Structure 1
């Protein structure tokens, strides 16, 4: 395996040499994760790994553990096809969301991604508010977003739909309609699918990510289920995140469809996604303007003049409240984790004194 083709750079090598503590440690990239077991690509081949006991003890949150796309330092046992991970190298990007359920915990969907292809279907399931959420999290991740509108052959009025999406794609985000049936639009993806680059496919269930993966691979690697005529949403078929090496040397990460996309610490992403509202806010008469009924509100005036859609402001306010709620829960969780950590330290100190 050629790790340079898989995205290895001089900076990653320098990071590895910084944490390398013995000559029997090598560098690898996490290709698949399942229940704290990791399939890792190395120069000498693929190994199945778990983290060391010390690594596990020192890791307090899910963010501390390896994720798909991570570069890691590991000690391999090639005769067994296994290995042990001792460190995760610094991430240049990470696409995260809040874990499902009533918890304030981060779930890293993919790490060290250059471009995120946000796949949305051009059938009845197209949802502009969902696209805004994906854009917000992508900007926050450190990767570059590209909106891919799949199933263009099923769209009755593609011009109108494109205009709707382009109206929320601020910051020069590319919007590319494609059809896996006719292969139209795929040539426009080539600029982002370069050797050594990592691209993640993200989107809801049934938008066609697995079909896109198969078309890019030139083979039926991912299982695909047909969309029923009475079910425009389709069904997701990918069950786990995985690195896939494309024929041209680009790394593709296909991900399971996300029925739930909750935000995770995305204040900077909010500014990028709603840049027109952020810019107008600086022109409001009051610095703490809520953009409701305050005099001299530049945002409300832009909506009244037809320059900004009212739905955009509604979505902006809703996401702001959601982020504030997550931040409050995360603070409480951090305090709780710190108390647990000190209890553990005190317990160990008492045990040592009693010996």
Structure 2
């Protein structure tokens, strides 16, 4: 039991046979590395798992607890089942296909990493906060490369982020000088799991190296013209920090495409929703209606137009994604019944 606890095993899993349990610590395409707190194994899913899986969400993700058959002599294991997740950060997979992708599972905290340079983007931070609340984890905004900025620039950046990160901790750090690391570690207590999320070049891998006091992750520079980074981390990997916390490094995401977030809109945009509640009409569209609380707030400076437009844009995007997902679900169900009918006809023909 103790060997699993250091991997983040909690009391909610007490009814499981711990001899069969392990945690996914690395995901690289279709291969997995898992740990039972004592030994690491190279793992793959069983044939039954493949047959039973209904979608990409059913497959193991970094941070998952899995039930496995261990082949200790070979250093390999077969994954038979994924335990229920307490949290999961999901995004719309890259490309044209409507498909969900789990970035990390069973995480307590999401460290939303932005650098204090040209890459600072409050609209992107809004998206990450929304998806984090929807995942079941808690967000913390981490602003890196403090050593490259003046204190005035740092204060201005924090002020910008505060306008969209309502009630969210914001920590400015320097992986070079170590400034801010003590504050950051307060959000990384023993036995808790955090995921580092952000664009390429914002300093996620450098931060991991700093926290571990070891060069475990390769790092690359950024273009000076626009502060854009190059992809360094190519897979998801979990590390144990000296203080007993666990941290997951992930490849940079140029843009976070939302998959879900309807239930987290009110938490993410609580500043906007306090004004929508003041509208005279419950179906107010905040356009030309009289007695609109939102228009009044924008007019007197209590709410910025950009913040409200972002709120509307994300609501529309979520509604659009929901329609696409519903259409895909209907198509999948139709194809499934077609296959069932085809199988039944073949079986009937064979039995005759």
Which TM class, normalised by the smaller chain length?
over 0.9
1:340, CA displacement in angstroms? 2.2
Counterpart selection for 2:321 from 326, 332, 352: 326
Answer yes or no: is 1:10 the counterpart of 2:6.
no
Counterpart selection for 2:265 from 270, 283, 296: 270
Counterpart selection for 1:217 from 212, 218, 236: 212
In the comparison of the two structures, how many residue pairs are matched?
Answer: 347
Counterpart selection for 1:279 from 274, 278, 294: 274
Answer yes or no: is 1:87 the counterpart of 2:88.
no
1:54, CA displacement in angstroms? 1.5
Quote the Cα distance in structure 1 between the aligned partners of 2:229 and 2:27. Answer: 26
Give TM-score, length-normalised by structure 2.
Answer: 0.95
C-alpha RMSD of matched pairs (Å): 1.6
Q: Which moved more, 1:86-95 or 1:157-166?
A: 157-166
Aligned to 1:168: 164
1:130, CA displacement in angstroms? 0.5
Distance 1:193 1:296, change over 3 A: same
* 1:308-343: CA deviation from partner (whole Å, max 9, x where unpaired): 111001101111111111000000110111122223
Aligned to 1:30: 24
- Work out whether residues 242 and 255 of structure 1, in 8 Å CA contact, stay in contact via their aligned partners in 2: yes
Aligned to 1:115: 109
Distance 1:344 1:84, change over 3 A: farther
Aligned to 1:70: 64
Quote the Cα distance in structure 2 between the aligned partners of 1:208 and 1:142. Answer: 25
Counterparts of 1:146-185 in structure 2 under 5 Å?
Answer: 146-156=140-150, 157-170=153-166, 172-185=167-180
- Work out whether residues 6 and 37 of structure 2, in 8 Å CA contact, stay in contact via their aligned partners in 1: no
**Structure 2 gaps, min length 5:** none
1:147, CA displacement in angstroms? 0.4
Counterparts of 1:195-234 in structure 2 under 5 Å?
Answer: 195-234=190-229
Counterpart selection for 2:42 from 48, 57, 61: 48
Aligned to 1:238: 233
Aligned to 1:97: 91
- Work out whether residues 93 and 141 of structure 1, in 8 Å CA contact, stay in contact via their aligned partners in 2: yes
Quote the Cα distance in structure 1 between the aligned partners of 2:53 and 2:61. Answer: 13
Give TM-score, length-normalised by structure 1.
Answer: 0.94
1:231, CA displacement in angstroms? 4.2
1:35, CA displacement in angstroms? 2.5
Partner SS, residue 3 of structure 1: helix
Partner SS, residue 344 of structure 2: helix
* 1:296-315: CA deviation from partner (whole Å, max 9, x where unpaired): 11011111111111100110
Quote the Cα distance in structure 1 between the aligned partners of 2:55 and 2:180. Answer: 41
* 1:29-61: CA deviation from partner (whole Å, max 9, x where unpaired): 111122322111114411111111121111121
- Work out whether residues 142 and 172 of structure 2, in 8 Å CA contact, stay in contact via their aligned partners in 1: yes
Partner SS, residue 211 of structure 1: helix
Counterparts of 1:289-328 in structure 2 under 5 Å?
Answer: 289-328=284-323
Q: Which moved more, 1:276-285 or 1:257-266?
A: 276-285
Partner SS, residue 14 of structure 2: helix
Partner SS, residue 2 of structure 1: helix
* 1:275-299: CA deviation from partner (whole Å, max 9, x where unpaired): 1112221211111212122111101
Aligned to 1:131: 125
**Structure 1 gaps, min length 5:** none
Partner SS, residue 202 of structure 1: strand
Quote the Cα distance in structure 2 between the aligned partners of 1:345 and 1:72. Answer: 31
Counterpart selection for 1:142 from 133, 136, 146: 136
1:344, CA displacement in angstroms? 3.0
1:192, CA displacement in angstroms? 1.4
- Work out whether residues 100 and 260 of structure 1, in 8 Å CA contact, stay in contact via their aligned partners in 2: no
Partner SS, residue 28 of structure 1: strand
Partner SS, residue 227 of structure 1: coil
Quote the Cα distance in structure 1 between the aligned partners of 2:51 and 2:206. Answer: 40
